[in-house]
């Protein structure tokens, strides 16, 4: 009887159902990274995929505002981490490692 106050409303279940696919992206990336020892140039496309997913959630007006806010906050943190790579010599080497990055990032 006392646990009834913890029961989720229909709206809370809908919010969770919108949030779950966004969290699944992190599960997918975590599993992919855990299988091998990825190199820096392997991680760059994963960062880009997460960034695009955040952008999709932020721009989707059918999402709950709380889900959009979570995506905005996640994108802010991701950009902060990703921004730290700009001054890294290893990042520049990794970008040159895979020629496909050159026109997209440097031109």
> What ranges do the domains of the chain cover?
46-107
3-state SS record for the chain: CHHHHHCCCHHHHHHHHHHHHHHHHHHHHHHHHHHCCCCHHHHHHHHHHHHHHHHHHHHCCCCCHHHHHHHHHHHHHHHHHHHHHHHCHHHHHHHHHCCCHHHHHHC
pTM over 0.95: no
Residues in the chain: 107
pLDDT of residue 56: 95
pLDDT in tens, 29-63: 889 888 888 777 778 788 888 999 999 999 999 99
pLDDT in tens, 24-34: 998 998 898 88
């Amino acid at each position: 009887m006392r646990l009834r106050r913890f029961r989720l409303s229909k709206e809370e279940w809908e919010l969770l159902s919108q949030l779950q696919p966004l969290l699944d992206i992190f599960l997918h990336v975590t599993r992919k990274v855990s299988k091998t020892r990825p190199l820096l140039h392997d991680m760059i496309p994963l960062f880009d995929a997460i960034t695009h997913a955040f952008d999709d959630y932020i721009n989707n007006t059918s999402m709950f505002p709380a889900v959009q806010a979570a995506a905005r906050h996640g994108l802010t943190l991701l950009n902060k981490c990703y921004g730290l790579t700009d001054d890294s010599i290893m990042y520049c080497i990794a970008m040159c490692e895979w020629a496909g990055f050159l026109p997209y990032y440097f031109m």
